[in-house]
Amino acid sequence: MSKKISKQQAKKEIQKLRKEINHHNYLYYVRNTPKISDQEYDNLFNQLKELENKFPEFKTSTSPTQKVGAAPQSEFKNIKHSMPMLSLSNAFNEKEVIDFDKKLKRILKKEKDIEYIAEPKFDGLAVELIYKNGIFTQGTTRGDGITGEDITENLKTIPSIPLKLRDKELKIPSLIEVRGEVYINKKDFEKLNKHREKKEQSTFANPRNAAAGSLRQLDPKITAKRPLNIFLYGIGNIKDKSFKTQSQILSVLPKWGLPVNKNVKICKNIHKTIDHYKKLNNMRENLPYEIDGMVIKVNNLKLQEKFGEISRSPRWAIAYKFQPLQAKTKIKKIIAQVGRTGALTPVAIMKPVKIGGVTISRSTLHNQNEIDKKDIRVNDTVIIQRAGDVIPEVVKPIKKNRTGKEKKYTLPDRCPICGAKVFKSEDQAVARCTNISCPAILKESIKHFCSKGAIDIEGMGDKIVEQLVEEKIIKDVADIYKIKRQDLLNLERFAEKSAQNLIDAIQKSKKTTLSRLIYALGIRHVGEHLARILSKNFPNLKSLQKTKEKDLLKIKEIGPEVAHSIINFFNEKQNEKLIDKLIKNGVTYRKKSKESNILSGKTFVFTGSLKNFTRNEAKEIVENLGGNASSSISSKTNFLVIGENPGSKYDKAKELETEIISEEDFRKLIK
């Protein structure tokens, strides 16, 4: 558009283009019936961008061009939802679904059929969008259901979220809070991971993690580059409009330009609902996005209100979960991986196969015992499965497919990396390389030392550690503190800035805490929790080094196996030298000051992701304040702290009537 046009003409043209683009967005994202080609669309879009640049006085925040991402933020603000965002109870089989229906009928004191609406349960991240007078003003994550995070700028970059509601068919309410799930299509997820792999960035485990990671970026420009989508499935507050049924909500939202999913079904009674579950389950593999179950909701909103809710879940809805996804593939070979402690882990390398949008090509077989028990052989056709976040596992071989070419596998007698003899326990559960200077062990122990819960050196990724060891720049963890900028610049992929950043991170990590240092040493059986216990019981590393087995056994959490392992570790001359070298190279640690005991006798469990702490930091705080942090809920748990997207512990806590508190409550407690 090189022609000169007047301001008045430009204004008109801009308005016309916006209207046209918004209409095509609606046809594409809501109706799934695009009328123009991508190229024609890009043409319109570029024309608008050009005009807006020429006439910046006509720029508006709701223009369809405003989807590129605003300036980065330093943190997300916490926002309280005006109405809590509830979570769903789960059902895993038909009986539990029938019981759900029976319970509702009991409340109604009537045997009459209840009408349900069945919707796919999208496996993404729940969000709320607020539109005031039709303009998108705020968007938040679900958070713990009560408070979420302000991710408005990130949500604005999602192409299918309209910045302005459509008012062609139906009057726009002055206020509407809509709720839905942000997700990534399976195909886009694969593409994103491939791209990340190429750039040597870490890949996402599944589409849900990719969606969550993309939405929680402080820089909206990064979010803008991720292929995010949304399906809306409900409302919070609304003014000037009332609905009678959930199905009515789902048919009205698209009229305002809000995308909803089409695979929903009104079912006359619970039996028809269960029939639909079977159909949806069959469709699952072929849907472009991941679903992990079907949500059953009472369709009538008055009835919903009558049923109400119990501990943050509606009584009127339930998530009927699907079985984990399974697939058939072939084991090409089995390799032995050497870990930090020298343990050899058999890993099956398989013909790549897609399960629910994720390509799987390897799976741990745990140990020789497991291989023997399941009778897994090289060349076997096997069934593998993936359930949500769970790492893929080999379920069983399909024995009837055997051709005679299958070979039994036994872990080698010699380490595949250094050739040293492998020690095997009698029960075959452990096989370990006996060479303490095995390069594989060295690499893994350095990776462990640098990891987040340990010394935490930002930017010291696995590949860098491997290079540093291979180039013999470091021979033990203490050498990390002798790395020079020039050493890094000699390696592939380092430039001035990245080298300096890593040197800075290394320097920063020199100041640590006693518990982190103990954990970082990698003493067998001493995880983060035990490291914290030890740091509470010993004033410094020297006193721990000199301790006797019988004194260790006086500590409640420490049993004979752990005590033995600690004593063995410190008896090793080489380890003693290593600790001296670390201290000589400048590592210092804080000794615990006088501790408060305000959480004494209280046991905490955490679920979901926390905003202000990592899980380990939260546990560390609890233990430093005299409390206990546990990973599983039991009758002994005093508090369950819930973060974003709480897991099954939440349901268990409700069952056991454990006190459930939000992250905010937890912060108040520890203040």
Interacting residues with ligand IVH (CB under 6 A): 86-88, 119, 121-122, 126, 142, 181, 233-234, 295, 314, 317, 319
Please check whether residue 161 is in contact with residue 230, taking contact to mean a CB–CB distance below 8 angstroms: yes
Residue showing tokens 């024309």:
47
Q: Is 62 exposed, middle or buried (0-12, 13-18, 19+ CB in 10 A)?
A: middle
Residue 652 Cβ vs ligand IVH, minimum distance, rounded to whole Å: 15
Cβ neighbours, 10 Å, residue 119:
25
Residues in Cβ contact with 249 at an 8 Å cutoff, skipping those fewer than 6 apart = 234, 235, 243
Residue 28 Cβ vs ligand IVH, minimum distance, rounded to whole Å: 22
Nearer to ligand IVH, 12 or 279 (CB): 279
Residue 85 Cβ vs ligand IVH, minimum distance, rounded to whole Å: 7
Please check whether residue 386 is in contact with residue 324, taking contact to mean a CB–CB distance below 8 angstroms: yes
Give the dihedral of Cα atoms 314, 316, 319, 320; nearest 10 deg.
150
Structure-token pair, residue 606: 């955490």
Nearer to ligand IVH, 17 or 296 (CB): 296
Q: Where are the beta strands (DSSP E) in 444-550?
A: 511-513
Nearer to ligand IVH, 122 or 136 (CB): 122
Comparing CA positions, the residue from 459, 390, 74, 398 lying closest to residue 209 is 390
Q: Which residue is nearest to ligand IVH (CB)?
A: 126
Residue 233 Cβ vs ligand IVH, minimum distance, rounded to whole Å: 4
Q: What is the DSSP-derived secondary structure letter of residue 203?
A: P
Residue type, 33: T
What span, in angstroms and rounded, lies between the C-alpha atoms of 105 and 435? 67
Q: If DSSP codes are grouped into helix, strand and coil, which group holds residue 183? A: strand
Nearer to ligand IVH, 162 or 608 (CB): 608
Residue 53 Cβ vs ligand IVH, minimum distance, rounded to whole Å: 39
Comparing CA positions, the residue from 463, 432, 437 lying closest to residue 450 is 463
Residue 146 Cβ vs ligand IVH, minimum distance, rounded to whole Å: 13
Nearer to ligand IVH, 80 or 110 (CB): 80
What span, in angstroms and rounded, lies between the C-alpha atoms of 64 and 379? 54
Nearer to ligand IVH, 317 or 480 (CB): 317
Q: If DSSP codes are grouped into helix, strand and coil, which group holds residue 670? A: helix
What span, in angstroms and rounded, lies between the C-alpha atoms of 342 and 439? 10
Catalytic option among 95, 109, 121, 668: 121
Residue 89 Cβ vs ligand IVH, minimum distance, rounded to whole Å: 8
Structure-token pair, residue 429: 């559960």
Structure-token pair, residue 235: 């409302």
User: 140 — phi, psi (to 5°)?
Assistant: -135, 160
Comparing CA positions, the residue from 358, 438, 6, 430 lying closest to residue 185 is 358
Residue 304 Cβ vs ligand IVH, minimum distance, rounded to whole Å: 9
Nearer to ligand IVH, 130 or 562 (CB): 130
Nearer to ligand IVH, 623 or 651 (CB): 651
User: 641 — phi, psi (to 5°)?
Assistant: -95, 125
Nearer to ligand IVH, 224 or 250 (CB): 250
What span, in angstroms and rounded, lies between the C-alpha atoms of 330 and 604? 44
Tell me, yes or no, if 447 is annotated catalytic: no
Residue 318 Cβ vs ligand IVH, minimum distance, rounded to whole Å: 9
Comparing CA positions, the residue from 83, 59, 57, 65 lying closest to residue 25 is 65
Q: Where are the beta strands (DSSP E) in 356-438?
A: 358-364, 381-386, 393-397, 422-424, 431-433
Give the dihedral of Cα atoms 518, 521, 524, 529; nearest 10 deg.
30
User: Known catalytic residues?
Assistant: 121
